[in-house]
A and B are shown apart, each in its own frame.
Chain A
Amino acid sequence: MRGAVSALAAVLGRLGLWGRGVVVAVPYLWLMLFFLVPFLIVFGISFSESVIAQPPYAPLVEWLTDEDAGTTKLQLLLNLTNYLRLTGDDLYILAYLNSVKIALVTTLLCLFIGYPMAYAIAKAPPARRGPLMMLVILPFWTSFLIRIYAWIGILKGNGVVSNLLEWAGITSGPVEILYSDWAVYIGMSYCYLPFMVLPLYSTLEKMDPTLLEAAADLGCRPFKAFLTVTLPLSIPGIVAGSLLVFIPSVGEFVTPELLGGPDTLMIGRVLWNEFFANRDWPVASAVAIALLLVLVVPIMIFQYVQAREAEER
Chain B
Amino acid sequence: MAGQPIRKPTRLEPWQDAGQTPYVRIEKVTKTFGDFVAVDEVSLSIYRNEFFALLGGSGSGKTTLLRMLAGFEQPTEGRIFIDGVDMAGIPPYERPVNMMFQSYALFPHMSVEQNVAFGLKQDNVPKAEIRDRVEEMLGMVQLSAFGKRRPHQLSGGQRQRVALARSLVKRPKLLLLDEPLGALDKKLREKTQFELVNIQEKLGVTFIVVTHDQEEAMTMSSRIAVMNHGVIAQVGTPTEIYEYPHNRFVAEFIGSINMFEGRVVEATADHVLVASEEAGCELHISHATPAPAGSPVAVAIRPEKIALSKEPPPSGADGTPARNATKGIVREIAYLGDVSIYLVQLPTGKTVRVTAPNVTRRTEMPITWEDEVYLSWRPFAGVVLAQ
Q: Which of B145-185 contact A (CB under 8 A)?
A: 150, 152, 166-167, 170
Q: Which of B24-83 contact A (CB under 8 A)?
A: 70-72
Nearest CB on A from B160, distance (A): 14
Across the interface, do A220 and B105 meet the contact criterion of CB distance under 8 Å?
Answer: no
Closest B-chain residue to A221, C-beta based?
Answer: B93
Chain B interfacial residues counted at CB < 8 A? 26
Chain A residue contacts of B108, Cβ below 8 A: 233, 312
Closest A-chain residue to B92, C-beta based?
Answer: A216
* A-B contacts, CB under 8 A, total: 60
> Taking the complex as formed, is A143 at the interface, i.e. its CB lies under 8 A from any CB of chain B?
no
Across the interface, do A208 and B118 meet the contact criterion of CB distance under 8 Å?
Answer: no
| A219-B93, A220-B118, A312-B108 known; A208+B166 contact, CB < 8 A | no
| A217-B70, A219-B122, A219-B170 known; A208+B98 contact, CB < 8 A | no
> Taking the complex as formed, is B187 at the interface, i.e. its CB lies under 8 A from any CB of chain A?
no
Partner of A213, one of B94, B105, B122, B150: B105
Nearest CB on A from B136, distance (A): 17
Across the interface, do A216 and B93 meet the contact criterion of CB distance under 8 Å?
Answer: yes
| A210-B101, A211-B105, A216-B91 known; A312+B152 contact, CB < 8 A | yes
> Taking the complex as formed, is A93 at the interface, i.e. its CB lies under 8 A from any CB of chain B?
no
Chain A residue contacts of B97, Cβ below 8 A: 217
Chain A residue contacts of B150, Cβ below 8 A: 312
Q: Which of A230-280 contact B (CB under 8 A)?
A: 232-233
> Taking the complex as formed, is A297 at the interface, i.e. its CB lies under 8 A from any CB of chain B?
no
Nearest CB on A from B10, distance (A): 33
Chain B residue contacts of A221, Cβ below 8 A: 93
Across the interface, do A213 and B152 meet the contact criterion of CB distance under 8 Å?
Answer: no
- Most interface-central of A208, A210, A216, A217 (chain B CB within 10 A): A217
CA distance A219 to B101 in the complex (A): 15
CA distance A312 to B81 in the complex (A): 42
> Taking the complex as formed, is B109 at the interface, i.e. its CB lies under 8 A from any CB of chain A?
yes
> Taking the complex as formed, is B103 at the interface, i.e. its CB lies under 8 A from any CB of chain A?
yes
Nearest CB on B from A311, distance (A): 9
Closest B-chain residue to A311, C-beta based?
Answer: B152
| A219-B170, A220-B118, A229-B107 known; A213+B101 contact, CB < 8 A | yes
> Taking the complex as formed, is A105 at the interface, i.e. its CB lies under 8 A from any CB of chain B?
no
Across the interface, do B92 and A217 meet the contact criterion of CB distance under 8 Å?
Answer: yes
Chain A residue contacts of B106, Cβ below 8 A: 214
Nearest CB on B from A126, distance (A): 15
28 inter-chain pairs at a CB distance below 8 angstroms, sorted by A residue, are: A208-B105, A210-B101, A210-B103, A213-B70, A213-B101, A213-B105, A214-B99, A214-B107, A215-B107, A215-B118, A216-B91, A217-B70, A217-B93, A217-B97, A217-B99, A218-B93, A218-B98, A218-B118, A218-B122, A218-B166, A218-B170, A219-B93, A219-B94, A219-B123, A220-B93, A228-B118, A233-B108, A233-B109
Counting from the closest, the 9 A-B pairs by CB-CB distance are: A218-B119, A219-B122, A214-B105, A216-B92, A210-B105, A216-B93, A217-B99, A232-B109, A220-B122
Binding site for A on B (CB under 8 A): 70-72, 91-94, 97-99, 101, 103, 105-109, 118-119, 122-123, 150, 152, 166-167, 170
Q: A217-B99, A218-B166 are in contact. List 13 more A-B contacts (CB 8 A).
A: A208-B103, A208-B105, A213-B99, A214-B105, A214-B107, A215-B118, A216-B92, A217-B167, A218-B93, A219-B122, A219-B123, A224-B122, A313-B152
